[in-house]
Structure 1
Amino acid sequence: MNSSKSDLPSRLLLNLEPWRHAAHWRIAFSGGLDSTVLLHLLATLANAESLPALSAIHIHHGLQATADAWPQHCQSVCDALGVPLQVKRVTVKGGASLERAARDARYAAFSSLTQTNDVLMTGQHRDDQAETLLFRLLRGAGVRGLGGMPQQRPVGQGALVRPLLDVSRAELESYAQAHQLHWIEDPSNQDRQFSRNYLRHQVMPVLTERWPQAQASMARTAVHLREAQGLLDELAQIDLAQAQTVHEFAWLGVPSLELAPLAALSDARQRNALGHWLEALTRLPDADHWSGWIDLRDASSDASPIWRLADGELHRSAGRVWWLSGRWLRTPVIGADWQTPAATLRLADNGRVMFHGQTPSAPLRIAYRQGGEVMQLAERGSRDLKRLLNERAVPGFVRGRLPLLFRGEEILAVANLPGLDGQMDEGWTLHWQPTDEDQGLS
């Protein structure tokens, strides 16, 4: 980010150059110093520059009585600047960390309000970045966490941008005083039971008394660490490219990786690559919980290990690791015969089945493997279904939900498995679509 000593409006405009053609600029307006300065800067710039449409969003958490007056204050500030304001009330769920619960509620609201090609701006500054770095360092964060707050990231259908990360709190205060701005002082910002407030009021003053440039140096360190994380991400993409191989069960639509290329890497590169892949799928485990990956990776070849994570499970089967979540973790139940086989049959928690080609004569039913099933094959006679699935290396998690077509007690077909999926002489095959188009994966 630009760090020149030019005046604040010019620096802000330079930092926002990549987003000059957005559909809408929205400001997360708490009414505090940071967002008040940001709002004033942008409203002033909009009088002289051709900028996207500008509006503000105030999130009302309802956590303290004094906050009830804040929406009106924000409205008066926005009215004076000619900026439309939207007030959004949220419910903060209780939990171990009120700070985190309020943040989660706030960003959920931001996500719901940010549309395609919108930019949502927040007022975090350089001092906030330094506090974030120190806070995460004390919690034992890795390189990604110590990279601090990114200048931009996705939110909702648009982007969240922090254009003041190279500006100090002192600069914002100076600007506010020069323009006679009025802002809200949140009483909770003085409550030192909150970790960030403790760092701000008790720790940072001591550090800056000894090292006046401490906050600037820490913010600069965050930039270096974010660059290092970028290199780790590039390495992860190189390693994942070796593991994202073509396989015959891609039609399942389940994210998976080939195990052997991963296992050939050093432990650190395995964690880096797998963490990069999992980040889009689940909240990542802490350092201690990564032992679950070692257990899954090193389990015996005849085992079916599972690593349970926050938002799903990683399974190992058929030489691959598979990410399962949502409906893939619910046992499917079939409740009725297939009364009208000419039509698609929807399966509870298991997509749908249909015939390609002719429709075999009724009565028919769909069921799932229970164990001990035998299938008659024209060229091979009676064959144990378990052996047939082994021959085709069907992943373990699929076996209990592969739709089996029965007429009476006879298995006529196993959906989607070539050679077992129908009667070619009768001109039909059984097709299974594991998830409906609108279901997707978590």
Structure 2
Amino acid sequence: MKPALPARLLKTLAPWRNAPAWHIAFSGGLDSTVLLHLLASLANTETLPPISAVHVHHGLQAAADAWPSHCQALCDSLGIPLQVLRVQVQPGASLERAARNARYQAFTEVIGAGEVLLTAQHRDDQAETLLFRLLRGAGVRGLAAMPECRRLATGCVVRPLLAVSRGALQAYAHEHQLKWLEDPSNADPRFSRNYLRHQVFPTLTQRWPQAVSSLARTAEHLSEAQGLLDELAHMDLIAADQPSAFPWLPLPSLTLAPLRDLSDARQRNALRHWLTPLTRLPDSDHWASWYALRDAKGDAQPVWCLADGQLHRCGERIWWLPTAWSEFSDVPVSWPDPQMPLELPGNGQLSFSRNASEGPLVIRYRQGGEIVEVPGRGRRDLKRLLNESGLPGFVRGRLPLVYRGEQLLAVPTVAGAWAGSMDDGQLHWLPQTCDQGLS
């Protein structure tokens, strides 16, 4: 009969037994050392995916230079391959957050499709996370603390020890005479988590001995509540996720009317769910900008600026524009051979269907007052044509115009409503796909 902790771990990891590989986030500390030892031991008796360890070296303190060799020695003794990744931590307001961001960015370079990154956060960590976020005024999603599983790149992160106490891990380590690293920064009370761990929780548990387990259980309840809110958001977004008139435009968008019919609380819930993969979310004080955007007159084009992009309203539709969308140059571009597609810097690709006139041509962007020849309609003002098409305003400045000298020869087809033509050829523009906008 297996000891309780190995059996418990094996049961927790059952949904991922068929993953292509398991990678252990191995810092060398107590928690990850126990997880590494547990999995190495289980691999001797169970059929598990290939196991390897990943150590991220942040270079934030001199003592850390010796940690990779310690990790290598332990992995060698257990027969586990180790990969050491060195990262640069970007300075910022929160060193903890910057180090975490650098660490997970490194992990994304390791995780392959369907593979699993196993991390060693435990029940005490979960309780600390809940209390820390509660003090910061987090909502339900934040108070749900750390999920057992979440996506990471094309794989996922799994935390199989969330139901296990720090004491149980310490007992296992002592029983198996494991040696682990002690990070000196873990004792520094200037870091919020350390202050909670060393100052707040001892006082709480002295008065309420079950405080840690109770807080972790509360996080589970809140995680379940968040799951229900996500289901509600999914239902509400189905109604709003209607195709736009511009399917070639590679940006997330929603129809506004179905959202407007919801209560304010359901609107916020649906938008949080939709925006979560796209940007860091605003705090409660900044949702007034959403109401201003929602309630603006139909001919207005309001913008809501968020951390990683902007939400635009064009008529009865809202569009998400990631920061990278605005990073393009409107400097003219030469097109020496129109028979070949042209890559526009930061602005996608331009090409002709059927025949194209001989080059060289030049690509320019709107200055105002342009006139274009429309088959069957004669010469038309470009601004009026764009208004007729309903093309969102944020796209119009990026619309590539084809010139020979000072003569405007062609404008890209816009939803089939009209097109400039040259020698029976239609001009097609495929705007730049932005991975952030499509995540």
Task: Please indicate the TM-score interval, normalised by the length of the shorter structure.
Answer: over 0.9
| CA positional deviation for 1:93 | 2.1
- Equivalence for 2:165: 168
Q: Indicate the SS of the match to 2:235.
A: helix
Q: For each residue in 1:313-338, what CA deviation from the matched residue of structure 2 results, as whole angstroms up to 9, or x when unmatched?
A: 11111321111125531354242454
- Equivalence for 1:151: 148
- Equivalence for 2:137: 140
One-letter code aligned to 2:68 = P
- Equivalence for 1:99: 96
| CA positional deviation for 1:271 | 1.1
CA distance in 2, matches of 1:344, 1:366: 13
Q: Indicate the SS of the match to 1:252.
A: coil
CA distance in 2, matches of 1:165, 1:333: 51
Q: Indicate the SS of the match to 2:44.
A: helix
Say whether residues 1:314 and 2:311 are aligned partners: yes
* Residues 326 and 441, structure 1, Cα contact 8 Å, conserved in 2: no
| CA positional deviation for 1:76 | 2.2
CA distance in 2, matches of 1:251, 1:44: 53
* Residues 115 and 158, structure 1, Cα contact 8 Å, conserved in 2: yes
CA distance in 1, matches of 2:433, 2:268: 33
Q: For each residue in 1:59-115, what CA deviation from the matched residue of structure 2 results, as whole angstroms up to 9, or x when unmatched?
A: 222222222222222222222222222222222222221111211121111121122
Structure 2 counterparts to residues 20-99 of structure 1, below 5 A: 20-99=17-96
Say whether residues 1:238 and 2:227 are aligned partners: no
CA distance in 1, matches of 2:154, 2:202: 39
Q: 1:179 aligns with which of 176, 191, 199?
A: 176
CA distance in 2, matches of 1:439, 1:260: 25
- Equivalence for 2:276: 279
CA distance in 2, matches of 1:39, 1:404: 59
One-letter code aligned to 2:256 = L
Structure 1: 5+ residue runs without aligned partners? none
Identity %: 62
CA distance in 2, matches of 1:202, 1:86: 35
- Equivalence for 1:224: 221
- Equivalence for 1:400: 397
CA distance in 1, matches of 2:197, 2:123: 13
**Alpha carbons of 1:30 and 1:405: their partners in 2 closer, same or farther (altered >3 Å)?**
closer
- Equivalence for 1:131: 128
**Alpha carbons of 1:379 and 1:86: their partners in 2 closer, same or farther (altered >3 Å)?**
closer
One-letter code aligned to 1:414 = V
CA distance in 2, matches of 1:232, 1:64: 42
* Residues 256 and 323, structure 1, Cα contact 8 Å, conserved in 2: yes
Which is worse superposed, 138-147 or 272-281? 272-281
Q: 1:420 aligns with which of 406, 418, 421?
A: 418
Q: Indicate the SS of the match to 1:176.
A: helix
Which is worse superposed, 104-113 or 123-132? 104-113
CA distance in 1, matches of 2:417, 2:102: 52
- Equivalence for 1:265: 262
Aligned residues: 437
CA distance in 2, matches of 1:331, 1:26: 38
| CA positional deviation for 1:118 | 2.0
- Equivalence for 2:356: 359
Q: For each residue in 1:228-255, what CA deviation from the matched residue of structure 2 results, as whole angstroms up to 9, or x when unmatched?
A: 1111111111111111112221111111
Say whether residues 1:15 and 2:25 are aligned partners: no
* Residues 334 and 348, structure 1, Cα contact 8 Å, conserved in 2: no
Q: Indicate the SS of the match to 2:24.
A: strand
Q: 2:385 aligns with which of 384, 388, 399?
A: 388
**Alpha carbons of 1:353 and 1:88: their partners in 2 closer, same or farther (altered >3 Å)?**
closer
| CA positional deviation for 1:409 | 4.8
* Residues 304 and 310, structure 2, Cα contact 8 Å, conserved in 1: yes
Q: Indicate the SS of the match to 1:421.
A: coil
**Alpha carbons of 1:338 and 1:220: their partners in 2 closer, same or farther (altered >3 Å)?**
same
CA distance in 1, matches of 2:271, 2:85: 38
Report the RMSD for the aligned CA atoms in angstroms. Answer: 2.3
* Residues 293 and 302, structure 2, Cα contact 8 Å, conserved in 1: yes
CA distance in 2, matches of 1:36, 1:337: 59
- Equivalence for 2:321: 324
One-letter code aligned to 2:163 = D
Say whether residues 1:119 and 2:116 are aligned partners: yes
- Equivalence for 1:202: 199
Which is worse superposed, 287-296 or 407-416? 407-416
Q: For each residue in 1:134-192, what CA deviation from the matched residue of structure 2 results, as whole angstroms up to 9, or x when unmatched?
A: 00000001100100111111223322111111111111111111222222222211111
CA distance in 2, matches of 1:64, 1:171: 29
Q: For each residue in 1:183-227, what CA deviation from the matched residue of structure 2 results, as whole angstroms up to 9, or x when unmatched?
A: 222221111111111111111111111211111111111111111
TM-score by length of 1: 0.92
